[in-house]
Each structure stands twice: as C-alpha cells, then as structure tokens.
C-alpha cells in the first residue's frame, strides 16, 4: 500500500456510503424527471452508456439469431428477408447505437473531469445531442412496427449497413425499409456532429490552468482527434443519405444507373464517411488503453509526444484510405495501388502505438486487476486485427478475401476484440469513479474469461470460413462447401459471449448498491478525475485545479519527485 | 460419389473430403484422355468422359488457375510477414507481462523507475514497419499489374456474364451461344496457354463473381463493365457465389464454372449452338409453355418464347442445377419449381404461375427434353 | 483527497473563445457537407442523358451574386458601426444586409420558377437537375437560416435586448453569413463558370 493509498478493492476503507448518481431525487418520477431534463455531463455520459448497453443487448440478440440460422446448412429458422434485416440492423445498431454512444458517453463523462472543468462547453446542446441520438435509434427501430405492421421483418432496413446503390432505389427496395435507414441515421448523425463540436470546444476552451495541450491526458487527446473526425466525416454520410432520400421521394437521379447515374459514386461517398468512422470508433479505445496501461504498470506512458503525433497522423491519413473497401469494384490499377499504399501507411502509426504500450509495461510492476486484464487482451487482439487488416490492405490478397467471412472476422476483431474490450476496461476502471463502488471482482473474472473465450470461438473460425470461400450476407449455404464446422464453432462462441455480457450487466446493476466502497482514488492513478470524490459532486471540483505536468495527481502524491521536474 | 455423368439423376450435392476427391480427379483425368479419344471417333453427345469432380471446397490457398496462383504467391508473402510480426510482438508482450508482473509484498512499496520514453528506441521501432510497408507496396503494385493487365493469348475465349437478381446470364459472343447459370471454359496447359476472359455486367443491382480457385472476386456493376480472366489447370466443376448483397436470394445466386478439356468444350459449344429438335411426344408441354406466358420471361430457341427477364431455357436440361444452383436439376425439384418456385427459392423473382398438375407434368416433360 | 493543493494561482491563462471555436467547427462540418454535393455536381457534369443541359438554361447570376456579396460588405459596415457605438448606423446597415439576403432568396425563387415552368427542369429530369437543385437548394436553405439569424439580431437590437456582452454573438452571425457567401462563390464557380457550357 504505497504512500498510504489503497490499491485493491480489498484494502478500501469503509467511508460513508457514497450517493449513487440521481439518488438525491428519491422517487422514481423524480429520478426520471432528473434524467430527462438534465444537462449535467456526468448524467448524460451515463445515459449515453446506458443507451449503448441497451442496444448492445438488442443487437447481440440479433447476432445470436443470425448465428443460429447459420449453425447448419439449409436452415429455415428465419426467412431470407428476415435474415437480411437481421444483419442490417445488427450492424447499423452496433455501430450507431452502441459503439458511437459509448464513445460519446465515455468522452462526455471523463473529458471535463480530466481537463479540470465544471461541465461541457454547451450543456444544453449536450442534452440535445443525446436525445437526438436516442431518437434516431427509436426511429430506426420503429421500422419493425411501422408500415407493413408487426409481422417480423416488416419494414426494418434490409440492405446491409452500407446500403449499396442501386439496391436502395425504389425499383429494388419496395417499401419503406431504406427510408427508415436514411432518416434514422440522418437524425442520429446530427446528434453526433453537435456532440462532437461540443467536446472539441470543451477541450480547446475549458482546460484548467496550466493544462496546455501537451499536458492533457491521452484519453482527452484521442477524444479530440476522434471528434474532429466526427465533425468532418459524418457529413458525407448525411449528404449521401439526403441524396438517397431525394432519389426515393422526389425522383432525383443521383445513383440511378438507367439515367446515367453511378452506383460507384454511392460507394465513394459512403466510404469517405465509413472509413474515418472506424477510426472514430477505435481512437477512443486507444485513449482508454493509454490511461489503463500506465496506471496498472505503475509507469507513465512511454513516448507521450509520439503517441500524440501518431494519433493526429492517423486522424489525417484516415481521410485518404477509403477506397480500400472498393478494391473489387473495378478501379484502375493506379487507384488501387494508391489506396493500398495509403492503407499500409496508416498501419505504421497505428502499429507503433502497440510498441508504446509495450514500452510502458516494460520495466513496470504490472497489476493484473480487471481493467488491465481487458487491456492486455485488447493488445493481443488488436495486434491480430491490425495484421489481418494489412492482409486486406494488400489489394490482390483482398481480391480473394473481400466480401467474405474473413472480412467479418477482421472487423469484429477490431470492434469487439479491440473496442468493446477497451470499453470493458474503461467500465471496470471508471465505474468506481461514477458510482463510488467497485464492480464485483468475481463476476468480473467470470465475465472476462467467458467473454474472451467466447470471442475467440466466435471469430477465429470465421477467418477460415472466409479462406474457404464463404461470402458475407448469405442466409444459408449448401452442405459440402467445407463451412459447416466453422459455423458451428462460431455459433457456440456467440452464445458464450452472450452469457458473459449478461454477467456484466448483472454486475453493473448489483454493484451500484452492494459493491465495495471505492473512495476517491481506488487505483492509485494520476489524472484529475481521481482528485475529486467518487462520484464527483455536480460541480466536479470544489476549486478548479491548476496543473504543472501530465500527471497532476502524481505530483500531489510525490512532492519530492514531481513529474514537472522531468517533463 | 458419382463418376458417371448421367444427366437428370443427380441427387443433391455430394459431400467430399479433400483426400478423396484428389485421388478421384487423378483417375478422372487419365480416364478422360482415353474417353475423349473414343468420343471424337463416335461423336456422342452424352460425354461420359467429362470430369465431374465437384470442387465444392474452394480454398484460396489451393489455386487451380493462373491468376489464382499469382494471388496465392503474394498471399503467402503477406501471411509470412504478418506471422513473423505476430510472433515477435506477441512474444514481447507475453514476456513483459510475465517478467514485469507485480511481485507483491515489500516489492510493492516502491514505484518502478518512471521512464518517459526514448527517442532512439522509438526511431528504432518505426523504421522496420516502414521498410515492410515499402516492400509490400512494391510487391502489391506489381501483382496488381499482373492480374489487371495480363497478356492474354490472341485466341483467348470470351464469355459475357450479366448478373441478374438472382441468376447469371451467360453469353459466348464468338459463337452466338446464350445460356444461364452454368459457365463452361476450356482447360489450359502450362505449355500452351488457353485463357478465358470474363466480361462482367449487370442488368439491375451490383453483384459479385467469386470462384476462389480460379481468381479473386470482381463486382458486376450496372452501367460499368469489368473484366477478369481465368486459366484453369484442372478440369472439374468449380462452385462459387455471388458476393454482393443483391436482395432476398443473394445466398442462392450460385456459380458453376465447368472446366472442360478443349475437345469437350468444343463439343459443349456445338450442343449449345444447336436448336433443340422438335419432339412430338412433348408437343403438349411446349404448347402449355407458350400458353401460360412462360415465354414472356424465358427464351427457348426455335420457338416463340423470346423473353429476356428470366434465364434462357433453350438447353435447360443440359444444366446440372436449376434456380442458379439452389437445387439439382432432376424431376422432383423441377416439379416443385413449376408448382411454386417460392418453395425452393423464396424471394426469387419468378412468381407462382398457379399451374395445374397436368400442366406441370406436361411442361416438365417438355423442359426435360431441352438438352 | 482535498483539492486545496490544486488551488488556482493568479497568473494569466488564455484560452480561445468557445463561441468562435464552435462556429469554426460548424463551418468545417458544413463545408464537408457542401463538398459532397459539389463533388456530385462536378462528377455528373456532361453525363446527363437527356436535356435540358446547363448551357441551354443557365444564366449567370449577376443580380443574385451582387445581392449576396454586397451583403457581406454591408454586414462589415454594420459591425464597424456597432463597434463605434453608432447604433442607428448598425441598425440601418444590418437591415440592408438582411434585406439583400432576402432579395437573394427571391432571386433564386424567380430563377427556379423559370427553370421549372419554362425549361422543364426538375429534380428528377436528369442528372443535371438532381445535382443542380440539391446543391443550390442546400445553399439557399443556409441563406434562409442566415436570414432568420440576421432578423433575430435585428429584432433583439431594436427592442433593446442586445447588450454589449452580446457582441460576440453578433460577430458569430456575421461569420456565418460570410461563410454562406463563400459557399456561394464556390457554387458560382462550379455551376455557372466551370459547368456553364456543358
């Protein structure tokens, strides 16, 4: 117990029972009113995260149905139309209603605390952004009951999450499914952009005294780059969707091949959004890992300036790689070579981040607490994801692997194996700050191992299925193609992940009341959020802090050996 | 596994293990060399020397065609590179976790040395990735050229493939042959190259063409023509899939590329060019076919049926499957299809024609004569 | 842990103005939106399969451009007046700016009326129609929003609610208005100059 600060849950003393967020309002109606009208970044952050976990369960259930349908060849669990809706809604929900809200939620909660501010720059705009995001999700899910009615797939979007033209034109998509897709995402998109502006303004204009940009925690830096990408690259999606709405409702000819329009143009517009989007999702995950690994290795992050430079470089280069999703569309050799080159270039700053994290762990005293377990799993899995990404970036290899289960395996490795694992790390790390109580460790260990095993059982075999020729988005397959065993293992893994996720949700709920008291700083960490109570008061800090280094709380704990002497 | 090619009596899809079919294909090839000699002499339409090895397991690491081999070579290089990177980095990670794990007790009282970074180390680990990227980009550029700008022999065959929802229109412009769903190409030889160029177009939405053992995938985009080429080294029936979501029956828009020996290929072309003979015994079926407006969507050479929305049926009975691969082309499946296509392929664009049993029977008999 | 140790000192700590940063970001995001429509317009130039074609129906927007670019000049004058404290001058020039903006919208209305009813060009006629109306329409909607903002400022000022501390709000509205003008310059370049002869 160095310096008298407790470092594990067992050592936490029993201070007064900390209040749960919203507990001051007593009644249920008071609590609901508080959430509906709140403009507090902490409550909104938790609401974003709550929305994310809610849709995670919903979209995860869809995945379970998909995997059950694919368990055996020629299965008839769901109709082909229902299956198309399932994977469309699974993908769209996971990206826009799970992953995006989670990164906005984490940024909302932690950025003002980490920069020593009282709230976001525009609190009411913050609430507006959340409710728009939530409403967009409701609008899209309303498609299940709207139009053709309650009979299953009905009008739910069924054109894949990237809604290729001309499949989305009125001729080939009769009914309103495509309209729910465009309109739902247009609404959510406005919420994302306004939220992104808010976070960027907060970071630029509300840092506490002494916190220059080069003293910000890496999570804040990565949130800044992420929100820059949101603000710049969500509009192309909105523009394409506006064009699609004009085409479907007013007869415009943007992607109408009969009128000379180009189906390829949709793909360009979509992927100009779509590729930066995946960096939007992954950069905050890097931020979380950059917070967790140093604290649990007991060393500062190795090479802070390079980490910042690499992150900014990734942000800019991500604008120039989009057509690697289009290698098979029939582009010229020059275009393909250029995009393959750009894709491999961006792998360099991404890859060396792994080295920086490795360098942080090297020579440290690694505590294998739950946040660190998730971070370590992230490191191995993100390494693999990055390498399969390189394989896909080599265009000729991609000509075999594109649109196959290998690609599905690759991006789930990034999004689940990388981003979701980082979100779990963030949850175990910051839940004590938000709720004043530690998450239950035993449940956490079960959660970690079940989810990791389930994850690998689900997605490792999918690499092989892709190598053996299994394409994406098929509701069934013939026997004898060599795909059966890989699909079966994958389905079993999916259910194991589901059980693990359930354990986590139970942990979240139970620990809010029964978890061990956390205190201000249960992990012996160094950034400003740990300098206030758990949970923080509404105004965050009694007095706004002044900092002199990147680890202000380290400076406080080590007045004889402060960081600002060495930085 | 059936070796004799008896059209119309296939039952579903065979399951095979790799070892078994490799042995069979050796036997098949030897037999076919003898068989073809016999055929040329006898000029039989029913070629029992056809290699009917169904290559259902399409492993991209088992290329059987020149472009697929080119892709395979670069894939091996990339895989090897990534494997080495993985072993090194994962090894270092594992080492760090084990070696620098907290030891507990007195050791915990002190924080480890607070190292902020090292420009030298960071430079050192940035240079190798850059070098790897440079090498990969150069190899990539060269391979792209090899695949996209191949120097095909002048007499390369050309097949025009037009994607529809949910079937493949197949045309041989040189020979004026139109068929559907089954593509025949001649076998190549490493000493004498015989290549086939596919010209890929679409009549409606974007589709994708992928037969891994022959080449990588290429999209079929409306208003935009793509080309690809194959140069297969082994006969057999290569299975593939449409790879771009095109609607409800995207999963059952299957590809069948039949690689024939050059002699058998010529024979097949001749069979396809011929107009089916008038068979009086199925005259009733032919009449029913026209009367029920089947000709509004389908084309049968030598009749008034000239529709283009659906597959050409002139030589329907010569194909191994119906519904672009969803079921074997036998009497039972054909009856089901005629009664209601939505049973075998729900969501396909052929509606239930509400045919009576007698009509189904007579049309069925007619269709099965269209060899 | 107490925060006394972290109490702020008296030294200077300057951070950028939140409103300015926010508006710059709004301009960034709107520029990204407009860029896609501009790209679509340029991509489809000369690719329409049927008439009417741009060179047949487009006339160079002299009046509209004069109104819009002129209003950027008048808004600068209005701001100068406000800075000096000349409230009447501010009101006059600000009102002229709003009127010119509104005039631009009327001008666009007339242009579109001619295109639809005389030339038969609608959103669904051909690729030109789709890309033209969407791009020009998107811009016009931004002019409309700008006009509403200008009017709000004017009304607040006339009713005495505009204080000195709102000077940055006024400045931000004028920045937005300059941005809308900048977009118009791009539209003129792309639609009427580059594409005028297609």
Q: How far apart are CA B319 and CA B266, in angstroms?
A: 16
Q: Which residue of C has its CA nearest to A232?
A: C29
Is A209–C32 a contact, with Cβ atoms under 8 angstroms apart?
no
CATH number at residue B309: 2.60.40.420
A218-245 per-position pLDDT tens digit: 999 999 999 999 999 999 999 999 999 9
Chains in touch with A (3+ beta-carbon pairs under 8 Å) read B, C
Partners of residue C21 in chain A, C-beta under 8 Å: 200-201, 204-205
Q: How many domains does chain B have?
A: 2
Which CATH number fits the domain A2-565, given the four candidates 3.30.1050.10, 1.20.210.10, 3.50.50.60, 1.20.1250.20? 1.20.210.10
Q: Does the CA dihedral C90-C92-C98-C100 come out positive or negative?
A: negative
- Mean pLDDT to the nearest integer, C181-191: 97
Contact yes or no for A242 and C4 at CB 8 A: no
Using left for φ > 0, alpha for ψ between -120 and 50, and beta otherwise, residue A110 falls in alpha
Where in the sequence is the domain holding B291, given as residue range(s)? 280-367
Under 8 Å CB pairs connecting chains A and C tally to 134
Residues 128-187 of A with CB under 8 A from C: none
Q: Which of A6, A235, A263 is best to mutate for the C interface (most C CBs within 10 A)? A: A235
Is the confidence at residue A16, as pLDDT, over 80? Answer: no
Structural domain harbouring C153: 18-44+57-194
Residue A28: pLDDT band (50, 70, 90) is confident
Chains that touch B (3 or more CB pairs under 8 A): A
Backbone angles phi, psi at A59, to 5 degrees: -70, -30
User: What distance in Å separates residue B230's CA from the closest CA in chain A?
Assistant: 14
Asked if C28's CB is within 8 angstroms of A231's CB, the reply is yes
> At B352, is the pLDDT very low, low, confident or very high (cuts 50, 70, 90)?
very high
> Whose structure tokens read 């493939």?
B161
Question: Does position B33 have pLDDT exceeding 50, yes or no?
Answer: no
> Which residue in A98, A71, A73, A87 sits closest to A153, CA to CA?
A87
The structure tokens listed for A50 are: 């709550």
pLDDT digits (tens, 9 = 90+) for B39-52: 333 333 334 345 68
- Report pLDDT for A148: 65
What is the maximum alpha-carbon separation in chain B?
Answer: 100
Band (pLDDT 50/70/90 cuts) for residue A30 is confident
Put simply, the answer to whether B221 touches A263 (Cβ < 8 Å) is: yes
Split into its structural domains, chain C has a count of 1
Q: What are the pLDDT digits (tens) for B190-216? A: 888 999 999 999 999 999 999 999 999
In this prediction, what percent of chain B has a pLDDT beyond 70? 86
In chain A, % of residues over pLDDT 90: 88
Contact C22 A269 (CB under 8 A): no
Got the DSSP string for C130-180? Answer: HHHHHHHHHHHHHHHHHHHHHHHHHHHHHTT---GGGHHHHHHHHHHHHHH
**Mind telling me how many Å the CA of C123 is from chain A's nearest CA?**
5
Contacts of A235 in chain C (CB under 8 A): 29-30, 32-33, 36
Higher per-residue confidence, A366 vs B22:
A366
B95/chain A closest Cα distance in angstroms:
9
Chains A and B touch (3+ CB pairs under 8 A): yes
Contact B74 A333 (CB under 8 A): no
Q: How far is C89 from chain A (nearest CA, A)?
A: 33
The closest alpha carbon to C47, from A166, A261, A251, B201, belongs to: A261
Q: How far is A234 from chain C (nearest CA, A)?
A: 8
Task: For A199, name the nearest residue in chain C, comparing CA atoms only.
Answer: C22
Judge whether A117 and A202 are in contact, CB under 8 Å: yes
Q: How far is CA A510 from CA A29, A157, C109, in A?
A: 21, 36, 62
What pLDDT score does B105 carry? Answer: 81
Q: Write down the mean pLDDT value for chain C.
A: 93
pLDDT the model gives residue A192: 97
B174 within domain boundaries: no
Q: In Å, how far is A80's CA from the nearest CA of chain C? A: 33
CATH number at residue C159: 1.20.120.80
- What's the pLDDT at A14? 37
Cβ under 8 Å to C: A residues 254-313: 254, 259-262, 265, 269, 272
Tell whether C36 is covered by a domain: yes
Average pLDDT over residues A19-32: 66
Contacts of A236 in chain C (CB under 8 A): 32-33, 35-36
Contact A383 B118 (CB under 8 A): no
ipTM of the complex: 0.92
Q: Do B116 and A566 lie within an 8 Å CB cutoff?
A: yes
Looking at residue A496, what is its pLDDT? 98
Which of B33-37, C39-43, C95-99 is the least confident region?
Answer: B33-37
Chains B and C touch (3+ CB pairs under 8 A): no
Task: Kindly report which listed range (A183-187, A510-514, A527-531, B36-40) carries the lowest average pLDDT score.
Answer: B36-40
Give the per-residue pLDDT at A32. 86
Tokens standing for A481? 């193609």
pLDDT band of residue B20 (cuts 50, 70, 90) is: very low
pLDDT in tens, B101-122: 988 887 777 899 999 999 999 9
Question: What's this model's pTM, rounded to 2 decimal places?
Answer: 0.91
**Under 8 Å between Cβ of B231 and B195:** yes
Chains that contact C by 3+ CB pairs under 8 Å? A
Q: Is the pLDDT of residue B17 over 50?
A: no
Helices and strands (DSSP H and E) totals, chain B = 8, 13
Per mean pLDDT, which range of A1-5, A414-418, B123-127, C104-108 is the poorest?
Answer: A1-5
Assess whether pLDDT exceeds 90 at residue B28: no
The burial of B291, by beta-carbon neighbours within 10 Å (0-12 exposed, 13-18 middle, 19 or more buried), is given as exposed
> Mean pLDDT across chain A, nearest whole number?
93
CA neighbours within 13 Å on the CB side: how many for B106?
0
CA distance C184 to chain A (A): 18
What CATH number does the domain containing B121 carry?
1.10.287.90
Considering only alpha carbons, which residue of chain C is nearest residue A227?
C25
* pLDDT > 70? residue C9: no
Q: Do A246 and C123 touch (CB under 8 A)?
A: yes
Measured between CB atoms, does A220 come within 8 Å of chain C?
no
Q: Tell me what the mean pLDDT of segment B259-265 comes to.
A: 94
Whether chain C has a CB inside 8 Å of the CB on A556: the answer is yes
């Amino acid at each position: 117990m160095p310096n008298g600060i407790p470092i594990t849950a067992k050592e936490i003393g029993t201070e007064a029972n900390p209040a749960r967020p919203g507990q001051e309002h007593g009644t249920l109606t008071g609590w609901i009113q508080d959430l509906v009208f709140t403009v507090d970044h902490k409550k909104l952050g938790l609401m974003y995260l709550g929305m994310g976990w809610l849709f995670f369960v919903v979209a995860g259930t869809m995945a379970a149905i998909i995997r059950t349908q694919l368990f055996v060849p020629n299965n008839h669990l769901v109709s082909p139309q229902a299956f198309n809706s399932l994977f469309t809604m699974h993908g769209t929900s996971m990206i826009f209603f799970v992953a995006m809200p989670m990164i906005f939620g984490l940024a909302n909660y932690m950025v003002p605390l980490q920069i020593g501010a009282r709230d976001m720059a525009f609190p009411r705009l913050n609430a507006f952004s959340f409710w728009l995001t939530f409403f967009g999700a409701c609008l899209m899910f309303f498609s299940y009951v709207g139009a053709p009615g309650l009979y299953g797939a009905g009008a739910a979007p069924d054109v894949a999450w990237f809604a290729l033209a001309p499949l989305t034109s009125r001729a080939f998509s009769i009914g309103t499914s495509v309209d729910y897709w465009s309109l739902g995402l247009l609404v959510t998109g406005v919420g994302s952009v306004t939220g992104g502006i808010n976070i960027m303004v907060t970071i630029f204009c509300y840092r506490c005294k002494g916190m220059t940009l080069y003293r910000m925690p890496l999570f804040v830096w990565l949130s800044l780059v992420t929100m820059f990408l949101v603000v710049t690259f969500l509009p192309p999606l909105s523009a394409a969707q506006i064009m699609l709405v004009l085409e479907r409702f007013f007869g415009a000819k943007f992607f109408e091949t009969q009128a000379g329009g180009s189906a390829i143009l949709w793909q360009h517009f979509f992927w100009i959004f779509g590729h930066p989007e995946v960096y939007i999702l992954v950069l905050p995950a890097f931020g979380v890992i950059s917070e967790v690994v140093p604290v649990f290795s007991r060393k500062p992050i190795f090479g802070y300036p390079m980490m910042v430079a690499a992150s900014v470089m990734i942000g800019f280069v991500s604008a120039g790689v989009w057509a690697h999703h289009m290698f098979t569309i029939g582009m010229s050799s020059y275009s393909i070579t250029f995009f393959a080159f750009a894709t491999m270039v961006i792998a360099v700053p991404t890859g060396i981040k792994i080295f920086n994290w490795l360098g942080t762990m090297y020579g440290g005293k690694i505590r294998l607490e739950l946040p660190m377990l998730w971070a370590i799993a992230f490191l191995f899995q993100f390494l693999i994801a990055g390498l399969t990404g390189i394989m896909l970036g080599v265009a000729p290899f991609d000509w075999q692997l594109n649109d196959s289960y290998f690609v599905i395996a690759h991006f789930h490795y990034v999004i689940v194996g990388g981003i979701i694992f980082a979100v779990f790390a963030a949850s175990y790390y910051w839940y004590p700050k938000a709720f004043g109580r530690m998450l239950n460790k035993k449940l956490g260990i079960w959660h970690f191992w079940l989810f990791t095993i389930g994850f690998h059982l689900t997605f490792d075999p999918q690499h092989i299925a892709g190598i053996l020729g299994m394409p994406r988005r098929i509701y069934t397959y013939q026997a004898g193609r060599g795909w059966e065993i890989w699909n079966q293992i994958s389905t079993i893994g999916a259910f194991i992940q589901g059980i693990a996720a359930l354990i986590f949700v139970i942990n979240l709920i139970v620990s809010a009341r029964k978890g061990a008291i956390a205190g201000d700083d249960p992990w012996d960490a160094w950034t400003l959020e740990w300098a206030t109570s758990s949970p923080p008061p509404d105004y965050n800090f009694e007095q706004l802090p002044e900092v002199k280094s990147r680890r202000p709380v380290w400076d406080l704990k080590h007045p004889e050996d402060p960081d600002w002497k060495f930085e | 596994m059936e070796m004799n090619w008896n059209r119309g009596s296939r039952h579903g899809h065979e399951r095979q293990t790799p070892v078994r079919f490799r042995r069979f294909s050796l036997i098949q090839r030897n037999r076919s060399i003898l068989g073809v000699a016999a055929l040329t002499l006898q000029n039989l339409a029913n070629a029992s020397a056809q290699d009917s090895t169904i290559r259902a397991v399409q492993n991209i690491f088992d290329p059987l065609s020149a472009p697929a081999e080119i892709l395979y070579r670069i894939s091996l290089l990339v895989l090897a590179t990534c494997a080495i990177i993985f072993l090194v980095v994962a090894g270092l990670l594992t080492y760090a976790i084990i070696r620098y794990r907290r030891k507990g007790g007195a050791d915990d009282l002190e924080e480890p040395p607070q190292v902020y970074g090292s420009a030298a180390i960071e430079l050192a680990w940035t240079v190798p990735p850059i070098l790897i990227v440079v090498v990969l980009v150069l190899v990539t550029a060269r391979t792209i050229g090899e695949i996209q700008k191949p120097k095909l022999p002048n007499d390369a065959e050309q097949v025009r493939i037009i994607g529809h929802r949910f079937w493949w229109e197949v045309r041989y412009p040189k020979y004026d042959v139109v068929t559907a769903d089954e593509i025949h190409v001649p076998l190549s030889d490493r000493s004498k190259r015989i290549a086939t160029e596919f010209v890929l177009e679409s009549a409606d939405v974007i589709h994708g063409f992928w037969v891994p053992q022959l080449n990588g995938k290429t999209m079929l985009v409306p208003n935009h023509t793509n080309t690809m080429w194959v140069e297969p080294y082994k006969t057999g029936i290569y299975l593939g899939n449409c790879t771009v979501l095109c609607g409800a029956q995207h999963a059952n828009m299957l590809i069948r590329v039949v690689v024939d020996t050059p002699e058998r290929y010529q024979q097949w072309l001749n069979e396809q060019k011929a107009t089916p003979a008038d068979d009086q015994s199925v005259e009733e079926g032919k009449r029913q076919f026209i009367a029920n407006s089947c000709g509004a969507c389908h084309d049968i050479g030598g009749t008034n049926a000239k529709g283009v929305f659906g597959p050409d049926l002139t030589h329907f009975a010569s194909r191994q499957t119906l519904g672009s691969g969803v079921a074997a082309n036998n009497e039972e499946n054909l009856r089901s299809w005629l009664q209601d296509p939505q049973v075998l392929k729900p969501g396909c664009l052929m509606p239930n024609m509400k045919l009576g049993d007698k009509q189904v029977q007579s049309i069925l008999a007619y269709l099965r004569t269209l060899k | 842990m107490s925060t006394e140790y972290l109490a702020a000192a008296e030294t200077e700590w300057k951070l950028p103005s939140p409103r300015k940063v926010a508006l710059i970001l709004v301009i960034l995001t709107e520029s990204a939106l407009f860029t896609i429509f501009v790209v679509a317009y340029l991509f489809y130039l000369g690719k329409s399969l049927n008439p009417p074609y741009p060179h047949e129906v487009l006339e160079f927007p002299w009046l509209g451009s004069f109104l819009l670019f002129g209003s950027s000049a008048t808004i600068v004058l209005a701001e100068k007046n406000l800075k000096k404290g000349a409230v009447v001058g501010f009101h006059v020039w600000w009102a002229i700016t709003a009127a010119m903006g509104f005039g631009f919208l009327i001008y666009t209305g007339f242009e579109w009326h001619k295109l639809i009813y005389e030339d038969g060009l609608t959103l669904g006629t051909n690729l030109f129609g789709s890309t033209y109306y969407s791009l020009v329409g998107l811009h016009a909607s931004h002019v409309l929003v700008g006009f509403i903002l200008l009017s709000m400022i004017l009304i607040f000022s006339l009713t005495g609610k505009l204080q000195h501390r709102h000077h940055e709000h006024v400045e931000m509205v004028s920045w937005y208005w300059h941005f809308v003008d900048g977009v118009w310059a791009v539209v003129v370049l792309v639609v009427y100059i580059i594409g005028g002869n297609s």
